[in-house]
Structure 1
Amino acid sequence: MHRKTLFAAALATTLPLAAHADPAFRQCLDNLQEDARIQNGIRAETWQRHTAGLEPDMDVVALLDRQPEFTTPIWDYMAGLVDDERAEDGRERLAQWHDTLMRIEREYGVEAATVVAIWGVESNYGQGLGKRRVIDSLATLACIGRRQGFFRGELFHAMRIVQDGHIEADDLRGSWAGAFGQTQFMPSTFSRLAVDFDGDGRSDLMGTVPDALASTANYLQRAGWRTGEAWGFEVKLPDGFDASDAGRSAKQPMSTWSTRGLRRVDGSALPAGDAPAGLLLPAGADGPAFLVMKNFDALFSYNAAESYALAIAHLADRIRGAGEFVTPWPTDDPGLSRAERREVQELLIARGHDIGGVDGMIGTNTRRVIREIQPELGLEPDGRAGRKLLEALRKPRP
């Protein structure tokens, strides 16, 4: 190798990482340092240590507009989050953490199954905490893409969490948007509502289950949770029902809904009284219908998506022993549980396709292979793993 080339290669390995960072991104971070100090008391040494050499993660920018709560068909979304497996695991966690959950219920007034359901949906009971460094993700979103003001505030809070010694920076890992921990708090939510429930002097939502579950109950209590009340229930609409005024926030007295002909899905009468309830139709008037009340609104506030709140509410019911929704989703190609998604992956691998591992997550590689083989199975090449695909793959090949 030429001497100049050798020198350049050696220099590249010894220069600070910051020398290779994107200049505009670096300038953005430098400009934010003073706001971090003023708004959150972030010391210069803390800021420099955790931003030195940091480069933008463009994957999180792409994910900003692809949130599954808003892009996935409701029957796929619900099937993947609420299945027999997750409900059974939830019952096991209820037993395992019974004493802690009873203490939490007494202190915050939020019943245990709902807290456990959030734990299950957010991290599969601690098995999927997320792998992205929170500071890296938030620094990227604070400087690139839409909603930069929001993410800058979250970045400042994340820095303060590390500075105050609650969680080490390299352990502070989570989702692409910066949510972290057993029940996925945003850093600003941590700053407001995290609880040191085990009394060790720090709020550790990553590694300490009691802290995470108590913090979640504290969140719901502050969001208006009403002890002893239901989130809502499935209902049956009368023939020809005018659903133009449906909506979670378009609440009417329960007596009004009863007068308009709504009944519980088993045909029984609605509860007496004038408690306000909104009519939720997540797939339109032909799909499952629900009357939802104040506690549903508290769940909605956790992730501002009705499909998310419904998944939490339904999983909590399933953990308590309830069954699936009575009214089917209005589709001829229902969604698949995680066990069925794993079966799809196993069948694809058995056909010789390279999709990586079998994890029940229909990722980019799996969708690509599905899209390639769907035409030969007589299906539309949309890359979706639904009931029709599974049944076609189960058939013996000619």
Structure 2
Amino acid sequence: MPQHAISFNRRMAMVTLAAAVVMPGRLLADAGFSGWLSGFAVKARSVGVSDAALKALGRAEYLPSVIKSDRRPAETTRSLQDYIGSAASPQRIKGGQRALSRYPTLLKKIERQYGVPKEVIVAIWGMESSFGAVRGSASVLSTLATLAYEGRRRDLFEAELLAALHILTAGDVSSSRMKGSYAGAMGHTQFMPSSYLAHAEDFNRDGVRDIWSDDPTDALASTAAYLRAKGWAKGQPWAIEVRLPKGFDLALTGRIYSRRLRDWGKMGVTDVKGRALTGAESGALILPAGPTGPIFMIFQNFHVLKTYNYADSYVIGVGHLSDRLAGGRAIQASYPKNPWGMTTTERQALQKALNDLGFQAGRPDGVIGEKGRAAIRAFEASRGMSVTGVPTVQLLAILS
């Protein structure tokens, strides 16, 4: 290790120790953060981060509000009905229509080059930053350093922090302009630093991949490039809303159980107009609000959108908003008060019981999606039960 790095570490350690003696609470956390930051700077220097980028890192601050926000993402704290209602609200649809009208040539060019529908790009833009109006004002370095120091997902955020420092080292943006959200996402479509390094585009050919500019050109093209790289299937929908016949075996539902559309049609699955499904494309059925709520046949592009944000509610929100921008109808099914025939308290208890037994059902928030259903299947299999993945009051009684 270089001697200057050793000396720097010693000085920082002395400052941290002195601070710990005299500073309680928040200030003590800040002192610990400073010590961690100095150690991370040594690691960053060893992988080629420039002195200028390290100087910017040295100005990073510990942000407790970031930790609070990270633990309560909107995708897992709101009902599907509320989330979709916000995602495809009349105001957001109008905003998307204005964006399509304002940038017709640019969006058509992006769609033609990358094969991703312009409505999908605009929907992501609307969801991520309200079409550029809310791009985030927090220092990305401070945000990522705070999340890495907190440690819940340290490896992830250390990698993103290094990526951000490499962006600064390359001169793509100044540290003062590198602003973003509470999770460290940046620009019009909220790219994480690693996604920027891998997929950002200089679409307007001005020599800079600028996703932070008021001009959304590079950001929108970068989003299309990202989706194409992740496997976007040109000409295929993300999902379609469907209906199940009475008595349908719910054990056949879930995103891991894919069949050809014509095979689903033979089992009585129809579109929302009652027409039997046909065709050779493969899709899987998901029930995000249970069997009495909206039911979707999902395709490859559903999974591609999940690489942007893993929450099913986010994918459904983006997908549905893009459908509305393309002239599609609102979701036809109603939303049950008690999804799966269980109260919120019962669903939370079911998730907690599964977690306590080592079956990873996710945070007990009462939203039982694909992760929760996978946990139920694993529990059922471990007990020699019929594997359905269906949450029920009877299953809760067995677990209690």
TM exceeding 0.5: yes
Answer yes or no: is the 8 Å Cα contact 1:194–1:211 preserved in 2.
yes
Residue equivalent to 1:216 = 223
Verify the 8 A CA contact 1:90 1:116 in the aligned structure 2. Answer: yes
Amino acid at match of 2:163: H
The answer (yes or no) to whether the contact 1:33–1:44 under 8 Å persists in 2 is: no
Match for 2:148: what amino acid? Answer: A
Give matches, 1:67-78, under 5 Å. Answer: 67-78=73-84
* Structure 1, 211-220 or 139-148: larger mean CA deviation: 139-148
In the alignment, the residues of structure 1 paired with residue 278 and residue 43 of structure 2 have an alpha-carbon distance, to the nearest angstrom, of 52
Counterpart selection for 2:273 from 262, 266, 270:
266
3-state SS of 1:303 partner: coil
* Contact map agreement 1:195 1:212 (CA 8 A) in 2: yes
| 1:99 counterpart = 2:108 | no
Q: 1:49 to 1:233 in 2, by over 3 A?
A: closer
**In structure 1, C-alpha distance between the alignment counterparts of 2:246 and 2:298, rounded to whole Å:** 21
Percent identity of equivalent pairs: 37
| TM-score after normalising by structure 2 | 0.75
Following TM superposition, by how much is the alpha carbon of 1:214 offset from its aligned partner in structure 2, in angstroms? 0.4
Are residues 1:306 and 2:305 paired? no
Structure 1 stretches lacking a partner, 5+ long: 1-14, 333-398
> Aligned equivalents of 2:153 and 2:55: distance in 1?
24
Q: Which residue in 1 is equivalent to 2:64? A: 58
1:32 to 40, 48, 65: 40
Segments ≥4 residues shifted beyond 4 Å: 18-21
Whether 1:279 aligns to 2:275 is no
8 A contact 1:46–1:159 mirrored in 2 = yes
- Write the letter of the residue equivalent to 1:281: L
| Range with greater deviation from structure 2 (194-203 or 78-87) | 78-87
1:114 aligns with 2:120: yes
2:237 is aligned with 1:230: yes
Q: Which amino acid aligns with 2:200?
A: A
Counterparts of 2:225 and 2:287, CA distance in 1:
29
Aligned length: 314
Deviations 1:197-249 (A, max 9, x none): 01111111111311011000001101111111111210011111121232223
2 CA distance for matches of 1:110 and 1:37?
38
Alpha-carbon offset, residue 325 of structure 1: 0.6
2:138 alignment partner AA: R
User: Residue type of the partner of 1:285?
Assistant: P
Take 2:126 and 2:61, find their aligned partners in 1: how far apart are those partners?
32
C-alpha separation in 1, matches of 2:319 and 2:46: 40
SS in 2 for 1:213: helix
Q: Deviations over 1:260-283 (max 9, x none)?
A: 21000111121322x211101110
Q: CA deviation at 1:164?
A: 2.2
1:194 to partner: Cα distance: 0.3
SS at the partner of 1:278? Answer: strand
**Amino acid aligned to 1:177:** A
State the Cα RMSD in Å.
2.0
- For residue 257 of structure 2, give the secondary structure of its aligned residue in structure 1: strand
- SS of equivalent residue, structure 1 residue 85: helix
Kept in 1: contact 2:52–2:169 (CA 8 A) = no
Separation in 2, partners of 1:161, 1:213: 19
Question: Residue 175 of structure 2 aligns with which residue?
Answer: 169
> In the aligned structure 1, how far is the partner of 2:252 from the partner of 2:259?
10
Structure 1 CA distance for aligned equivalents of residues 38 and 174 of structure 2: 22
State whether residues 61 and 145 of structure 1, in contact with CA within 8 Å, keep that contact through their aligned partners in structure 2.
no
> What's the counterpart of residue 323 of structure 2?
317
- Pairing 1:118-197 to 2, within 5 Å after superposition: 118-197=124-203
- Per the TM alignment, residue 23 of structure 1 is displaced from its structure 2 partner at its CA by 2.6
Amino acid at match of 2:252: D
Post-superposition offset of 1:167: 2.0
**1:23-60 Cα distance to aligned partner (Å, 9 max, x none):** 32111111112321334x212342133323x3311111
TM-score by length of 1: 0.75
Q: Find the aligned partners of 1:96 and 1:176 in 2 and give their Cα distance.
A: 29
Letter of the structure 2 residue corresponding to residue 330 of structure 1: P
Q: 1:380 aligns to what? A: none
SS at match of 1:234: strand
